[in-house]
Chains A and B, each alone.
Chain A
Amino acid sequence: MKGSRWMLVSVVGLAWLAGSAGVAVAWEPTKPVEFIIPAGTGGGADVMARLIAPLVEKHKLSPRPLVVINKPGGAGAEGFLYVKGKKGDAHTIIITLSNLFTTPLHTGVPFNWKDLTPLGRLALDEFILWVNTERPDKKEFKTAREYIAAVKEKPTTFKMGGTGTAQEDQIITIQLEQALGLKFIYVPFKGGGEVCVNLVGNHVDSTVNNPAECVGHWKAGKVRPLAVFDAARLMWGTGGGDIPTAKEAIGTDIQYLMLRGIFGPPDMPKEAVDFYQGMLKKVYDSPEFQKYLLDNALKPSWLTGAEYVKWLGETESVHKDLMQKGGLLK
């Protein structure tokens, strides 16, 4: 009796030992993880990072917390170069947006996405062509075709608002111009929210914006979405109806989606890569994150490993091509 009890204890003990050994094999952060945002506070990337950090803590996905740090200098170049300099580090990750491609291409800073270790793609952000519903000249543009016709009639009088220069908004504007033979006056602003408000205030005639940046004004009937730059219509219940694709609305297939992905420093150790990929997948699958994607009309698009790398390569050459056509390359 006595012996069997001992046996039991030792079996349980062994199992526990084995179990803990199993856990010990998998790498985990041993100190707080720096989570770099190559953009300012309050923007789309910032908000997503500040959503991810507490989710990691809430769902106990990492033994040490994520410490969010903004490095927005030089259109994100500061953040990218910072992470590039952390070769082999296992405690730094960075969230990226399209400036991963556009900033080095336009400014010539010595950086390329291949310098970083791709971890995972969390979402893709859509772009929509918006116009104001009440214009001072009383014209009304109910469809993209009407608007395009008006722009064509009077080149370089219609103002297109967008975020920054040589970044996604201007790239789409140039695509539109080249595909349809138009000429806008492109006015750069500092942030997406500012762009939409300038549209509502009729300081610009149209904008290309992420859905989240304009949805409030759409619901209030101040702005009208004319087309989404994607392959499929945007079904977005909250706004009241779906938005036609560029192909349907203007007859030209223009597509552009913005990356929301996570990277690590160059040569991040394999076991750390595995850990962060697992962590990010769990964040991605959490109901909170899925609700966030839905609310902001972000396309759920989890991608990792070799496919992610392949996708990045393709996306980079698309950017290079578009920026070359637009004369935005350095």
Chain B
Amino acid sequence: MKGYRLLTGAVVGVLATASLIAGAQAAEYPTKPVELIVPYAAGGGTDLVARAYADATKKHLPQAMGVVNKTGGGGAVGLTEIMAARADGYKVGMGTVEITLLPHMGVARFSVDDFTPIARLNAEPSAITVKADAPWKTIEEFLADAKANPGKVRIGNSGTGAIWHLAAEALQNKTGLTFNHIPFDGANPAVTSLLGGHIEAVSVSPAEVSSQVAGGQLRMLAVMADERSKAFPDVPTLKEKGIDLSVATWRGIVVPKKTPAPVVETLRKASKAAAEEPAFREQLAKMNLTWAYADGPEFGAAMQKDNAFFKDLMTKLGMAK
């Protein structure tokens, strides 16, 4: 693999020079396999979405996509690599909501404007979930209790500065309540702690608690989305309850900013077709993930909106640098 890359590296150099002269390369893009950088470990949710997507593009691109995991720094290492890649379309990336989070914390060299969005593939809202034997049957009761006992209600999240922490902070900010935020090393340990009764609630996505909710051990009180979740149609949204708040994580394909327009066009077309493949949608459904395709411009607008929202929130929290 390494040797192959060195070899192709040399070929790319020649090709790139040639294309500058001929200017015809874009029309033929892609002429060699495309690398898909995933900023998280193999086997995780982001990785599985990426692999399903790479598989689905086979029919719609003349060349294969290969997934390469570049982990570390809560996604910062991989996202930096995507940002810094040669803008020729042969290194595309699986962008995640962290693009709009990490820059504000001063831990990333990139900002949301360093990427050109291609297609959003998946999005998951935050949800407030409690134990099934907890006294709160509705989100109103839960919030009322939190109001009566400021700082007593412990909400577990997947790490400080991670999306589910910010979701809980946003809820606190919107409602004027005070929670005790407990960071865990990922969503799973937070759910374990909730099951054991060591915390009162979690703010992770419905997918991450679905088996325990189905098994009757946990109860989901509300989702932070514009619409109800298809998997849990009985769970109300915060909007229905008069709290105008939706926070979601998302995953989608991005490329470096300066990628030429024809390449972006090709990728957008292929991504749309791949996202609409029944096999891809089926794969997501099997993983309890929500299909949320959005084309480049729409995806870009959502990214900008999130970026402004989180910048504002993190400045209020004193986390922004």
Asked whether A and B interact, the reply is: no
